[in-house]
Amino acid sequence: MNKAIAIVAAAAAVTAAPQLMFAKQNLNLSSDLDMTLPGGDLFLAWSKKFGKTYSQDQESDKLATFKSNAALINSHNAQYEKGLQSYTMALNQFSDLSSAEFKATHLSQHKPTRARKEAFLDTSNLSASADWRPKGAVTPIKNQGQCGSCWAFSTTGSTEGAWQIAGNKLTSLSEQQLMDCSDPEGDKSCQGGFFDYGFEYIEKNGGIGGEAGYPYTSPPHNEACQHAKEADIVSRLKSFHDVPAGNEAQLQAAIDQVGPVSVAIDANNQAFQLYKSGIYSGPCGTQLDHAVLVVGYSPDYWIVKNSWGTTWGDAGYIKMSRAGNLCGIQNAASYPIAEKGPVPPSPAPGPAPPTPPAGKYTSIVQSIYKGPQKCNGTPQSATIAIGKCVNDGNGAFKMTCSADGTKFTQTQYSDTACTTQTRVVPGPAATCLNAGPLTYLEFTCKTAADNVEIAQN
């Protein structure tokens, strides 16, 4: 494998017959949008494609950021055309985000404190290349949304692979269960986590449920652990191991001999944010802030599955150069070992807990905030009476508050009369909750006295 790829500045390549530093491939240089359109027209076409809408206050800033990213893409791809770059960039769903905004909404640093469990594998007879996708050990690309839950997707990805490789059916596992229930192990849901903590939780819990039974919330946010769903096990682990840090041969051996491997990387770079195709060669550092899944390799690159949907990168994947320890990919890598055989049946669920009394609170104020300032500024607010059946277009819901007003519960129903319950969603009151791209919610429990005071003011 070529351990070092020379990158030559564009200015140095201006000769009568420039030499290509990278073999140019037939790669898609952009999305299906016409990059020759004027900036404003391109922005409108892009906004329509990705369903983006903005307030009047936001639009000018977003347009400026978009134009800057589009110019960077065109400049970079022009260098690719000259053979000076090994990968292309393109407009995607993140093209209206600055580096700072992208980092705040999609990346998270969470440094593990537990001792590593490193295991050394035999590297004497490794395959030149490997890919677990055609072997049926990799589920389709998923999307974490605007939430720092990449660690959960990396955890399920390697566990899904290990479960299939052990002789079981490939099953999409629940990221939401890890987010909701692995806090005691050290994970923090949308605020970050670590796949080793996820593996530890799966072991302690006796397994993990499927995505179908414990689905990812939309929009993604923090929830209390749903213990009845937590007990519905579809996949089990018997152990997990850490790849010796900074050891390329050991990472290759783990992928070759064991299966897909969870890794942490430094993804805080516009080139990574806007990557499209080819072999990504940086630039990037080693401040690990994003968890992904390595599903294979060639002599020149790692095949990496991301959790940003199929509109990012090469249909959700990226090829990361093996020249050096790029983006710190070798520094924190782990893999689980799955149990073999069918999962024993889950115990019958007990009776549902009684609905808590409404207490002294008579209503909940729902406040919606738009923009990077999160829950600051002037929101759009609505007051919802406690226990009232509210039609939401897809059925109905009721809201309740805990006795001390620190928690709320939204109970969803499939009918408009609130007779057929489908889901109970608890959450913290008076807390800023992520509800989508630059959208935040806050629920506040109110007493009758509070409402009288508001009315008088």
Q: Does the annotation mark 69 as catalytic? A: no
Please report which helix (H) or strand (E) contains residue 380, including its range.
Answer: strand 380-385
Q: Identify the residue whose tokens are 């992208």.
A: 102
Choosing from 76, 77, 106, 150, the catalytic residue is 150
**Which pairs from 115-122 meet CB under 8 Å and 24+ separation?**
116/242, 116/245, 117/240, 117/241, 117/242, 118/241, 118/242, 118/243, 118/244, 118/245, 119/241, 119/242, 119/243, 120/244, 120/250, 121/250, 121/253, 121/254, 121/257, 121/258, 122/253, 122/257
Q: How many angstroms separate the most distant Cα atoms in the chain?
A: 82
Q: Does the annotation mark 290 as catalytic? A: yes
Task: Pull the structure tokens for residue 265.
Answer: 């990387």
208 SS3 class: strand
Task: Pull the structure tokens for residue 424.
Answer: 């109970």
Task: Provide the residue type at 360 as one letter.
Answer: K
Query: Phi first, then psi: what are they for 90, rounded to 5°?
Result: -155, 160
Choosing from 290, 327, 401, 445, the catalytic residue is 290
Choosing from 284, 306, 401, 418, the catalytic residue is 306
8 Å CB contact between 122 and 253: yes
CA gap 234, 212 in Å, rounded: 11
Catalytic site positions: 150, 290, 306
